[in-house]
Structure 1
Amino acid sequence: MTGLGYTLPAVLAVILVCAWEFKVLRTGLFRRPAYWISMVIVFGFQILVDGWLTKLSAPIVIYNENHTIGIRFPFDIPVEDFLFGFALVTAVLLLWEQQRLRARATEEAT
């Protein structure tokens, strides 16, 4: 059952957030260059911080390798961390966009 403890929830988080956008919210967030630029910025800082926390030479956070797929890139970061980061940041931005669209609709209705 290698990879199920951390990898499976990470993959499911990405699938659920994407399905939420494509099937329910339909905000168009993924079509916006500003979203992708934001994700590049987020991942840039994630690499710096997560790389420092997970470096194998002196880890602060230790992962049970039986619960990951074992791929670490760059700076010894488990790839699953990027999946969770994508899902978390995207979910927050989707909520923010949903609220913005609701406020606009309410404003236009009055």
Structure 2
Amino acid sequence: MTGLGYTLPSVLAVIAVCAWELAYLRTGLFRKPAYWISMAIVVGFQIPVDGWLTKLSAPIVLYAPEHTSGLRFPWDIPVEDFLFGFALVTAVLLLWERRTAKEEA
């Protein structure tokens, strides 16, 4: 079962975080330019660090091929790393937004 070990959980994490925002939290985070700028900054730092850790020529972090989709870009970064990164950073920012809104109310 290719991809179930890392691909499926990363896709489910993105779906869960987006559903959490859209169906329950409703912070409006996805409509804020500051959120998208923050995500661009995160990806800007993630690419060189993750690229160095996962480069196929001399990997520090190894992934079992049967647990990933096999899609890697740029610099051999597994696409799943970007999905988990999106879910993690977005979940933290959603919690921040929710707490800030409660404190202001």
After TM superposition, the score normalised by the length of structure 2 is 0.99
Distance 1:100 1:48 in 2: 32
- Counterpart in 2 of 1:59? 59
Gapped regions of structure 1 (runs ≥ 5):
106-110
Gapped regions of structure 2 (runs ≥ 5):
none
Distance 1:44 1:74 in 2: 12
Aligned partner of residue 14 in structure 2, secondary structure: helix
How many residue pairs match? The answer is 105
- Counterpart in 2 of 1:6? 6
Q: CA deviation at 1:43?
A: 0.5
Runs of 4+ residues over 6 Å off in structure 1: none
Q: CA deviation at 1:27?
A: 0.2
Distance 1:94 1:65 in 2: 32
- Taking the TM superposition and a 5 Å limit, the aligned residue runs for 1:1-110 are 1-105=1-105
Q: CA deviation at 1:83?
A: 0.2
What percent identity do the matched residue pairs reach?
78
After TM superposition, the score normalised by the length of structure 1 is 0.95
